[in-house]
């Protein structure tokens, strides 16, 4: 069960990391659109698991590698944004959120039945 504080911080991180992807690190994402779908924070706020949806990318694995390579840069930019709200900037772990692909696949299978 997540505390209210965890939930508030998760929403804050989701918004701020999303803005960082949209505005500040275009050199990493290039033409792809990256959306932060969910953020989970550990109870001690030391680790944030960030789930990303990747659109308009030919090679999602390569894009994910680029994002992972720039994790320190993203964390640094996040730190400047949240320095007044949190004492310690959580470590970031990025994961690809493939739930939309899963939903599309189910839709395709349901359409094939008819």
- Range of the structural domain that residue 72 is part of: 4-113
Q: Which has the closest alpha carbon to 93: 62, 54, 47?
A: 47
Q: 33-38: list long-range contacts, CB under 8 Å, 24+ apart.
A: 34/63, 34/67, 37/97, 37/99, 38/10, 38/14, 38/97
Per-residue pLDDT reduced to its tens digit, 32-69: 888 999 999 999 999 999 999 888 778 888 889 999 99
What is this structure's pTM? 0.83
Given a cut of 80, whether residue 107 has pLDDT beyond it is: no
Confidence label for 100 from pLDDT (cuts 50, 70 and 90): low
Residues 61-94: pLDDT tens digits?
888 999 999 999 999 999 999 988 888 999 999 9
Element (H, E) at 30: none
Instruction: Give 2's pLDDT tier (boundaries 50, 70, 90).
Output: confident
Q: Which tens digits make up the pLDDT trace of 8-23?
A: 999 999 999 999 999 9
Per DSSP bridges, beta strands 33-41 and 47-55 are antiparallel
Q: How many domains does the chain have?
A: 1
9 burial level (CB within 10 Å; 0-12, 13-18, 19+) = buried
Contact of 66 with 12, CB cutoff 8 Å: no
**CATH number of the domain where residue 78 is located:** 3.30.300.20
Q: Give, as one character, the DSSP assignment of residue 90.
A: P
């Amino acid at each position: 069960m997540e505390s209210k504080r965890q939930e508030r911080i998760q929403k804050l991180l989701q918004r701020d990391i999303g803005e960082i992807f949209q505005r500040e690190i275009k050199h990493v994402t290039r033409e792809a659109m990256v959306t932060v779908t969910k953020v989970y924070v550990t109870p001690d706020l030391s680790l944030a698991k960030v789930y990303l949806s990747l659109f308009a990318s030919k090679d999602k694995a390569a894009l994910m590698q680029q994002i992972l390579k720039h994790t320190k840069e993203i964390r640094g930019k996040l730190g400047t944004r949240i320095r007044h709200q949190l004492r310690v900037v959580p470590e970031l772990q990025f994961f690809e959120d493939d739930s939309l692909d899963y939903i599309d696949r189910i839709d395709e299978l349901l359409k094939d039945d008819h």
